[in-house]
Amino acid sequence: MKEKLKQLDEFHWLLDKSARDKMRVSAIIIGSKRVIDTAEEEAIKQLTNVACLPGAVEPVLAMPDVHEGYGLPMGAVGAFDAQEGIISSGCTGFDINCGVRLIRTNLTLQDVKPKLPALMDELFKRVPSGVGATGKLRLNSNQLSDVLDLGARWAVDNGYGVQLDLIHTEEQGRMEGAGTKPPIVSDTARRRGQSQLGTLGAGNHYLEVQLVDQVFDEQVAKRFGLTKGQVAVMLHCGSRGFGHQVATDYLQSMEAAAAKYKIWLPDRQLVCAPASSPEGQAYFAAMKAAVNFAFCNRQVMTHWIRQGFETVFGQDWEKLGLHMVYDVCHNICKFETHELKGAKRQLYIHRKGATRAFGPGNPQIPEDYRPVGQPVLIGGSMGTSSYVLVGTEQAMRESFGSTCHGAGRAMSRTQAIKSFQGRAVRQALEQTGKVVRSMGNQVLAEEAPKAYKDVDMVVDAVHGAGISRKVVRQVPIGIVKG
């Protein structure tokens, strides 16, 4: 399939819909030649599969961090017409609203370094992580329903944050119209969610204490409250078992729906239903519940992170400047209006390993950021750089207001375990001064920096393509992994 790519310019590659049978629309891969050279053939094939689905709106997009996944590849965006198109649980993934949150501080490396081991111990103690982790909160049935309905707002209303946290969260921390009970949300999903609020999870989820080491755009950085030498905290996690169960439930029910509506599936994982159908809307309502659970999850952990800093530094978190920069989703389906060829169209935008990147002036961006655009948080792989970017007008025109989400895997987990020793990865990180806390060593092997693509390459590509611009770069100094 790669041989059929046509280079449009330095960062845009076209896969015309004639590339294979049954493609309804063309696909575009955003990336440099190096991105294309390292992209897997299977990932590109998966992109073309999505282009075969009903109501697909041109183009189906791959970001520079694209890699083979299941259904929609990781690092991709699929948009579908709201009336004629589908909505797909397979295109959103299991970890619904896996996302990233950035919290700044007014501390410098000089302030933090002497207390870093103690800080990491405190954060590791306060934020449950790892396989099978259960939370410190045990929600009763009514509380769980409120979490699913209200999202991060529930957390703030119950003392786990402040109003400004909501303002600086995508969707203000809540998607309205969530279903909270059967038949929309199963009892099994509810049972899984009840004990997991406020947990980090495992795998590629993490909590990092980072240092802003480079500023690319002083004006926007200042608007976001970021400066060189500043310490910040990045949190990466999602909807935990609740979201996983919603995804599982709807994979099964949408398989039946696809047959009912006679939708041909080039890949079984692309199970879907017409967006306007009862099945499609049921999934959308359940997905919103999982989105809200994840927002609430990250908000509760934010509170515990603030408490951890208070304990170690002996000051109130507000005096320490632990304010939210922003919180973004990168596995989600959104109902959005976009202007295409001069006409406004209502679309279901599936972002799987992709981040919203709205440009300046958009009313969905918080007022204080609106003049410059939406913050875009790009988490690097373990031990490597992370970035803050800003959304652009070009993203609105070219990529349904979307950009990349992170580094993307370059190597399978099996290969990573064979290639790297967890203990050696830990030692290598510690030798560079990073403090690492994790539940085991194998996860460090799987998440070794070399198992991922070069995040600098990915970010340079979206910057070069104009769909988001670099604002600051951060490097990790302390890492908590599940």
Interface with other proteins, residue 86, by CB under 8 A = no
Interface with other proteins, residue 44, by CB under 8 A = no
The C-alpha atoms of residue 393 and residue 468 are separated, in whole angstroms, by 9
Using DSSP bridges, classify how beta strands 435-438 and 468-481 pair: parallel, antiparallel or unpaired.
parallel
C-beta closer to other proteins: residue 135 or 391: 135
Out of 31, 59, 64, 90, which residue is the one contacting other proteins (CB under 8 A)?
A: 90
Which ranges of 235-313 does DSSP label H, i.e. alpha helix?
240-260, 278-313
Using DSSP bridges, classify how beta strands 355-356 and 99-108 pair: parallel, antiparallel or unpaired.
unpaired
Binding mask 421-460 for other proteins (x = CB under 8 A): ------------------xx-xx--x--------------
Out of 107, 202, 291, 357, which residue is the one contacting other proteins (CB under 8 A)?
A: 202
Q: Candidates 99-107, 129-137, 298-306, 472-480 — which segment interacts with other proteins by CB under 8 A?
A: 129-137
Residues 398-427 that bind other proteins (CB under 8 A): 409-415
Of the candidates 143, 30, 17, 13, which has an alpha carbon nearest to the alpha carbon of residue 467? 30
C-beta closer to other proteins: residue 41 or 339: 41
Q: How far is the CB of 369 from other proteins (least distance, A)?
A: 31
Task: Tell me the one-letter amino acid at 17.
Answer: K
205 φ/ψ sector (left φ>0, alpha ψ -120 to 50, else beta)? beta
DSSP 194-231: HTTTT---STT-EEEEEEEEEES-HHHHHHHT--TTEE
Interface with other proteins, residue 259, by CB under 8 A = no
The C-alpha atoms of residue 434 and residue 478 are separated, in whole angstroms, by 5
Contact 101, 326 (CB under 8 A): yes
The C-alpha atoms of residue 338 and residue 182 are separated, in whole angstroms, by 33
Binding mask 370-399 for other proteins (x = CB under 8 A): ------------------------------
Contact 408, 73 (CB under 8 A): no
C-beta closer to other proteins: residue 240 or 469: 240
Would residue 168 show up in a list of annotated catalytic residues for this protein?
A: no
Q: How far is the CB of 205 from other proteins (least distance, A)?
A: 9
Query: At how many degrees (to 10) do helices 240-260 and 187-194 cross?
Result: 160
The C-alpha atoms of residue 150 and residue 178 are separated, in whole angstroms, by 9
Contact 473, 214 (CB under 8 A): yes
Interface with other proteins, residue 131, by CB under 8 A = yes
Interface with other proteins, residue 203, by CB under 8 A = yes
Out of 15, 237, 251, 324, which residue is the one contacting other proteins (CB under 8 A)?
A: 251
Tokens found for residue 247: 């995804």
One of 236, 330, 405, 463 is an active-site residue; which one? 405
Interface with other proteins, residue 141, by CB under 8 A = no
Q: How far is the CB of 166 from other proteins (least distance, A)?
A: 27
DSSP 120-133: HHHHHHHS--STT-
The C-alpha atoms of residue 263 and residue 243 are separated, in whole angstroms, by 25
Residues 271-300 that bind other proteins (CB under 8 A): 271
Out of 2, 12, 14, 70, which residue is the one contacting other proteins (CB under 8 A)?
A: 70
Q: How far is the CB of 255 from other proteins (least distance, A)?
A: 7
Consecutive H or E run containing 86: strand 86-87
Interface with other proteins, residue 48, by CB under 8 A = no
- Say whether 3 sits in a helix, a strand or coil: helix
Our CA angle for 286, 379, 481, nearest 5°, is 85
Our CA angle for 337, 341, 342, nearest 5°, is 70
Interface with other proteins, residue 198, by CB under 8 A = no
Q: How far is the CB of 174 from other proteins (least distance, A)?
A: 23
Interface with other proteins, residue 143, by CB under 8 A = no
What's the residue count for the chain?
A: 482
Q: Candidates 7-15, 50-58, 91-99, 376-384 — which segment interacts with other proteins by CB under 8 A?
A: 91-99
Interface with other proteins, residue 230, by CB under 8 A = no
Out of 92, 195, 381, 399, which residue is the one contacting other proteins (CB under 8 A)?
A: 195
Interface with other proteins, residue 69, by CB under 8 A = yes
Interface with other proteins, residue 261, by CB under 8 A = no
Q: Say which DSSP state 108 is in.
A: E
Q: How far is the CB of 383 from other proteins (least distance, A)?
A: 17
Cite the active site residues.
405
Interface with other proteins (CB under 8 A): 40, 43, 67-71, 74, 90, 93-95, 130-132, 134, 188, 191-192, 195-196, 201-203, 241, 244-245, 247-248, 251-252, 255, 267-269, 271, 409-415, 439-440, 442-443, 446, 482
